[in-house]
A and B are shown apart, each in its own frame.
Chain A
Amino acid sequence: MPHYQSWEEFSRAAEKLYLTDPMKVRVVLKYRHCDGNLCVKVTDDAVCLQYKTDQAQDVKKIEKLQGKLMRFMVSKESHSMTMETD
């Protein structure tokens, strides 16, 4: 259940996990305004990747990744595969 320190590694691992089995993977976002932190989790119920932050600069990266994964989910599977390999 790795906790990632680097955003780069986390987002790469998250995309890879999603592509192995899109139906199983879910992305969870937890935001606490009172504590000022944001936690992202990507899991397929076997592997669990987590990233925590309290930095405003990470918010944009996190919401970009969410948008990207959402677009993968909503597109036809063949398209998302070719996007990655091309």
Chain B
Amino acid sequence: MVLLENDSFLTELTRLFQKCRTTGSVYITLKKYDGRTKPVPRKGNPETFEPVDNKCLIRATDGKKKISTVVSPPLLDLAYSNLLRAHIDGLKKKDKKSKSKKTKATQ
């Protein structure tokens, strides 16, 4: 799993989308992150860890390559949503023309 800076993550995510245009899926996962770098201790030693409240983790994969990044304010959500909107464009558009044709036909 490659942990990247926010900018490199966005670049790599773009590359993932481009790679999967002809075949395959892009998986993106979003989760709140409290800044842990060590696993939760089973018992015994009390947790000396202070959870942070303002981070989240974004992971992306195409099934083979994995990338991730940690997001904290100021947010990259604008760049991220623009990226999603730019690449997720293969879906069906709302067909207004055929609808109006149908209404005309019934009239």
Contact = CB atoms under 8 A, between A and B. Distances in A.
A31 B26 contact: yes
Contact of A36 (B24, B34, B56, B92): B92
B90 interface: yes
B91 A37 contact: yes
A33 interface: yes
Q: Is the interface of A mostly helix, strand, loop or mixed?
A: mixed
A49 to B, nearest CB: 14
B29 interface: yes
Contacts of B55: 73-74
Interface in A23-79: 23, 25-34, 36-38, 53-60, 63-64, 66-67, 69-71, 73-77
B52 to A, nearest CB: 10
A81 to B, nearest CB: 12
Interface string B1-33: 000000000000000010011111111111111
Interface string B76-105: 010011001101111111100000000000
A76 B54 contact: yes
A56 B85 CA distance: 10
Which 6 pairs show the lowest CB-CB distances between chains A and B?
Answer: A73-B56, A26-B31, A73-B32, A27-B30, A29-B28, A56-B91
Given A31-B88, A63-B88, A73-B55, 17 more contacts: A22-B32, A28-B29, A29-B30, A32-B25, A54-B91, A54-B92, A55-B94, A60-B85, A64-B81, A66-B30, A67-B81, A70-B75, A74-B54, A74-B56, A74-B72, A76-B54, A77-B53
Interface of A: 22-23, 25-34, 36-38, 53-60, 63-64, 66-67, 69-71, 73-77
